[in-house]
Amino acid sequence: MLFDVVNVNDQVVSTLLAQPRESFALRFKKDTEPPEIPIAIGDTISVLIWESAAGGLFNEAPPRPGSRSGIEPLAPESTAPVSERPGETGIPGLSTPPRTETASPRANRQPVGTRPTETFPLEPAAATAGRQAVIIPDQQVGPDAAISVPYAGRVPAAGRPPAEVQQTIEAKLAEKALEPQALVIVKKSSANAVTVTGEAVSGARVPLSPGGDRLLQVIAAAGGASAPVHEVFVRLSRGGVTATVPMTKLVSDPAEDIFARPGDVLTLVRIPQTFTVFGATGRNDEVAFDAEDISLSEALGKSKGLRDDLADPTGAFLFRYEPNSIVRALDQPVATRSLDGSSPVAYRFDLKDGNSYFLARQFPVRDKDLIFVADAGAVQVQKLFTLLSTVTGPIVTGLLVCRQTTC
């Protein structure tokens, strides 16, 4: 047997629709949670350190309240006793003009513990002394998987999350600084990125954020697809496993839009979906889907339907190679021409049966399917008479002319 002929009915359509299709959610089902993004060798790291008070390891002590810069007078001015009247110096017979607030260099000086006036406000640096962060210059994680922090030495970083590195820095500085608090920020990472290539607007390595990025977010960061969405397939390579799904499936099914992981390779492949139709139809051609999926009824409509004068409604066929697992599910024997686990199958539709039109609306057409509509039996007789008329027509015409005229 060279191929199987399957008469399409409800059971056949149900079996085909029940077959699982390629799925990221099923193929990579263990990767449903956002990945933990560890620091890697070569990452650019920024470190900030705070202390609880001034005068610690990284911050200078603030100036004492009431102190000021400049030249102090030789002797502090005394304040007149309360018992003395204004204008009296305390020395009999000697009077001096009353002092004003502006005459003394200490006129605006505030006692200790009082709120300063607006005339000489405290500097913001003094007001926040001990609370400003010390920024360690950006550095790359070295080949020894560590970074340098003053007074803490080399701190292991690669393969660890930023929070764990922060705790290590704080522990190393605990006996030297005043209740140190550290913050580790990954400024740039080449290792924790996803490579996007193929039909992308700009192929690039997209770094992953700590909160996790889904596949569509990574594709959008690379500029999106340069081809129509219904012609683009997303091929994901991860850990030696590769799977391909239509991009429209990522958009329509949120479960397929899984989280990207460091080292993933996303390839956007443009595969125009087409089928070929020939026989007694209004259009014999290779026809594009122009959609994610189409049914047989839509395919026949794109080919301008069956020709009334030529087509045999009981002879509409769709040819394709099916996996042997589907052939067995259809209770059909595997064809002798089976290659690479697939067998040629011819699905037959009897369009004289009204139920076949409903089945045609559900029957899925696949990429590179062949649709053939056979000629009606009477067409062969018609073709014979057409051929005979082509041969005998000139002879009959000549005899008629000779009969009406003198030959």
Per-residue pLDDT tens digits for 224-245: 888 888 899 999 999 899 999 9
Q: What does the pLDDT read at residue 167?
A: 94
The class level of CATH for 44-59+129-188 reads: alpha beta
**Could you tell me which of 230, 272, 276 has the C-alpha nearest to residue 251?**
230
Residue 55 has pLDDT above 90, yes or no: no
Alpha-carbon distance of 184 to 272, in angstroms, equals: 47
At residue 65, the 3 state secondary structure works out as coil
On whether the CB atoms of residues 222 and 201 are closer than 8 A, the answer is yes
pLDDT band at 404 (very low <50, low <70, confident <90, very high): low
pLDDT band at 394 (very low <50, low <70, confident <90, very high): low
pLDDT band at 389 (very low <50, low <70, confident <90, very high): low
On whether the CB atoms of residues 243 and 22 are closer than 8 A, the answer is yes
CATH of domain 31-36+192-270: 3.10.560.10
CA 45 vs. chain centroid, Å, equals 25
Distances (CA, A) of 167 to 56, 176, 181: 19, 15, 9
pLDDT band at 147 (very low <50, low <70, confident <90, very high): very high
Residue 67 has pLDDT above 80, yes or no: no
Q: Which of 40-44, 53-57, 159-163 has the lowest mean pLDDT?
A: 53-57
Q: What does the pLDDT read at residue 390?
A: 65
Residues 14-23: contacts with CB under 8 Å, at least 24 apart? 15/326, 15/329, 15/330, 16/326, 16/363, 16/364, 17/362, 17/364, 19/326, 19/329, 21/245, 22/243, 22/244, 22/245, 23/243, 23/245, 23/256
The predicted model gives 338-367 an average pLDDT of 90
Q: What does the pLDDT read at residue 401?
A: 59
Same CATH fold assignment for domains 4-20+273-380 and 44-59+129-188: no
Q: Which of 51-65, 70-84, 227-241 has the highest mean pLDDT?
A: 227-241
The predicted model gives 73-96 an average pLDDT of 43
Share of the chain above pLDDT 70, in %: 74
Alpha-carbon distance of 353 to 316, in angstroms, equals: 12
Which uninterrupted H or E stretch holds 146?
Answer: strand 146-149
Q: What does the pLDDT read at residue 295?
A: 93
Q: What does the pLDDT read at residue 142?
A: 92
Domain boundary assignment for the chain: 4-20+273-380, 31-36+192-270, 44-59+129-188
Q: What does the pLDDT read at residue 391?
A: 57
Share of the chain above pLDDT 90, in %: 39
* More confident position, 10 or 389: 10
**If you average pLDDT over every residue of the chain, what do you get?**
79
On whether the CB atoms of residues 174 and 180 are closer than 8 A, the answer is yes
pLDDT band at 396 (very low <50, low <70, confident <90, very high): low
Q: Which of 116-125, 174-183, 244-253, 321-330 has the lowest mean pLDDT?
A: 116-125
Q: What is the pLDDT of residues 150-206, one digit of tens each?
A: 999 999 999 898 999 999 999 999 988 888 999 999 888 878 889 999 988 877 888
Residue 329 has pLDDT above 60, yes or no: yes
pLDDT band at 220 (very low <50, low <70, confident <90, very high): very high
| Tokens of residue 180, six digits | 């140190």
* More confident position, 400 or 340: 340
Cβ-based neighbours of 57, under 8 Å, separated by 6 or more: 51, 151, 173, 176, 177, 178, 180
Q: Which of 73-82, 127-136, 168-177 has the lowest mean pLDDT?
A: 73-82
Residue type, 217: Q
Q: What does the pLDDT read at residue 380?
A: 52
Residue 21 has pLDDT above 90, yes or no: no
**Could you tell me which of 288, 290, 249, 289 has the C-alpha nearest to residue 236?**
249
DSSP tag of 292: S
Q: Which of 134-143, 183-192, 269-278 has the lowest mean pLDDT?
A: 183-192
Assigned CATH topology for domain 4-20+273-380: Outer membrane lipoprotein wza fold like (3.10.560)
